[in-house]
Chains A and B, each alone.
Chain A
Amino acid sequence: MLSIAILIAFALVGTAFALTLWRLLIGPSAPDRILALDTLAVNAIALLVLFGIQQDSTLYFEAAILIALLGFVGTVALCKYLLRGDIIE
């Protein structure tokens, strides 16, 4: 039963990934694209967690933590750039 649930979850998160990618491509503004990138990072964490359960391995959490950290720092840096026109002052 778990394997079926994982398959359905994979399909749903994969579709979510594709939809977010669509928003990233059509924009229309810079904040929209940043928001899409942030959501992509979160979706990637979801995919990694699902993959970890499917492969029965806890190794993927380090990758999930890294993606979470980098996604957050990237979003903050890009927002700061929009707000100030400069990242390091």
Chain B
Amino acid sequence: MVELLTSALLLAGALFTFIGALGLVRLKDFYCRLHAPTKATTLGVGSLLLASALWFSTRGTGLSLHEVLVTLFLFITAPVSAHLLAKAALHLRMKSLAPKPESSTAAT
């Protein structure tokens, strides 16, 4: 039962990680590419870590909650780096498929 659940979580996590990287290669402009890793990868690694916590907690050596820390850290930092990257791209006036609103061009 535990093995089944762990395997399912592992496969789901790996699939999301893969889709995130696929988006990074496939999408056309930087602002779109930014979406792929911040979402898909966070949940992908999140479910991998959940699988690991589940696996090591049921091995009889006591609860393993290490993984929660890494997951929390990733969920807190991923949006921060995405926001900073978007800000840097706006600052460099990178071209985008979408029209940029007036006020942001004043961003420095």
Contact B45 A8 (CB under 8 A): no
**Chain B interface (Cβ < 8 Å from any Cβ of A):** 3-4, 6-8, 10-11, 13-15, 17-18, 20-22, 24-25, 30, 33-34, 37, 41-42, 44-45, 48-49, 51-52, 55-56, 59, 64, 66-67, 69-70, 73-74, 77-78, 80-81, 84-85, 87-89, 91-92, 94
* Contact pick for B18, options A5, A12, A69, CB 8 Å: A12
Complex contacts, A15 vs chain B, CB 8 Å:
18, 21
Complex CA–CA separation, A31 to B80 (angstroms): 14
Q: How far is the CA of A68 from the CA of B30 in the complex (A)?
A: 23
Tell me if A83 is interfacial: C-beta within 8 Å of chain B: yes
Indicate which residue in B48, B74, B91, B94 contacts A68 across the interface (CB closer than 8 Å): B74
Residues of A within 8 A of B (CB-CB), count: 48
Which residues 1-59 in A have Cβ within 8 Å of B in the complex? 1-2, 4-6, 8-10, 12-13, 15-17, 19-20, 22-23, 29-32, 34-36, 38-39, 42-43, 45-46, 49-50, 52-53, 56, 58
Is A82 part of the binding interface, using a Cβ–Cβ cutoff of 8 Å? yes
Q: Are B77 and A34 in contact (CB under 8 A)?
A: no
Chain A residues with Cβ under 8 A from B20's Cβ?
16, 39
A9 and B14: CB pair below 8 A? yes
- What is the CB-to-nearest-CB distance from A16 to chain B, in angstroms, rounded to a whole number? 4
Enumerate chain B residues within 8 angstroms of A69, measured Cβ to Cβ: 73
Q: How far is the CB of A63 from chain B (nearest CB, A)?
A: 11
